[in-house]
Structure 1
Amino acid sequence: MTARGLFLTFEGIDGSGKSTQARLLADVLRAQGCEVLLTREPGGSAGAEEIRRLVLEGDPDRWSAETEILLFTAARRDHMERTILPALAAGQIVICDRFADSTRMYQGLSRGDLRALVDQLHELMIGREPDLTLLIDMDPETGLARAKGRQGSEERFEDFGPDLQKRMRQGFLDLSQEYAGRFRVIDGNRDMGEVAQDVADIVLKAL
């Protein structure tokens, strides 16, 4: 199973459970004998983790959408160079909690009509899409309640409120149609174990 690298990403609104599902999938694949790298965005490398603190903490209006696009792209470039590409070259399965699709939504769609700019920077500086993207679809109000219940310091985007969550959910569903070849949509409004089983079935079939 580890003869070639495979790049998997999880996407979804805040509180959808994608981080938990990413960890559970990593456990399943390791039990199957796969070499797995579990990582996240923004973050996943030393430089990208520094940028993560800049973009996820503080007041909601701390950065403009344009500035955020540049910061996220810089973090992603460092993440790719130092973490993702070396792991793929070594034949590992990379599971990433969020990737460029989140930037297409949060900065490119939901905070302004900047989708074209996101795609231009992605093509110029990243040039790589995931092999498979798992979208955990979740009711926006439920997701926001879960996210706010974490009581963490990284709540800048949750503080934009429920309207953003609703636009994000629809945006992700639209994106799953645009990139239908790599997206799989999974109902996240169910028991965690049921969602995890669906995720594992999809990925093991892809392998």
Structure 2
Amino acid sequence: MLSEDMHNSLPGVPAAAGPGGVAAAFLNALSAREFTKAQLLLAQDIQFRMLVPGRLMTDQGAHAAIRRFASWFGGADQFQVEASNAQEIEGRAVVTYRFRLHDVRGWLLLEQHLMLDVGTDGRIEAIDLLCSGFRPATVDESLHVHPYDAGDLGCADGLAQAFREQIQHIPIGDVLVVSARDPAAKEDLPSLARLMGHVVHSIKVLGDGRLLVNVERGR
């Protein structure tokens, strides 16, 4: 478990979180393409091993590891989180995600599975990654979108319940676009949505500080 002091130094990690909490924070940072925040969760001498189509690659060090993630999907002009999950398995953390992105090559689908070794200080000391490679993909334009402006609500004062009510009022497969101004919603809302079995497509912070979270109803 992480101490309160460690929690304060690690972005997005709840107090007393174990490897699963660190994995969830790392997943949230990658999903938001906040690479600086993701790097803070890595040990400086992290070992990064990657099995990608056709070869095995290795990087060492937090900067090199994050630079690798940024090279994969940091430059996309459109980016969607199609599926994601973070959990702990007997002291080791597991992160999986599927991203749909658009760049100069067109629409692509990328799926990666990560096994994380988390040290006693709460930072990730090693990552073993299996990558699908970039697969040509199309975007389903048939999804119906439902906007919801949560105003200044936060998860501590009503946003969680309001989100549950809003997502239950749209058909399965439709997308709820939540606009919120509470900074904590950036961490809390995507985690809540995934816990409820929904798919977080994207997390975006606008120039005025508002947060937009696109969630597809999964059940």
- Range class of TM-score, shorter chain: under 0.3
Structure with more contact order per residue of length (Cα contacts < 8 Å, sep ≥ 6): 1
Query: Comparing both structures, which one devotes a greater share of its residues to strand?
Result: 2
* TM-score normalised per structure 1: 0.26
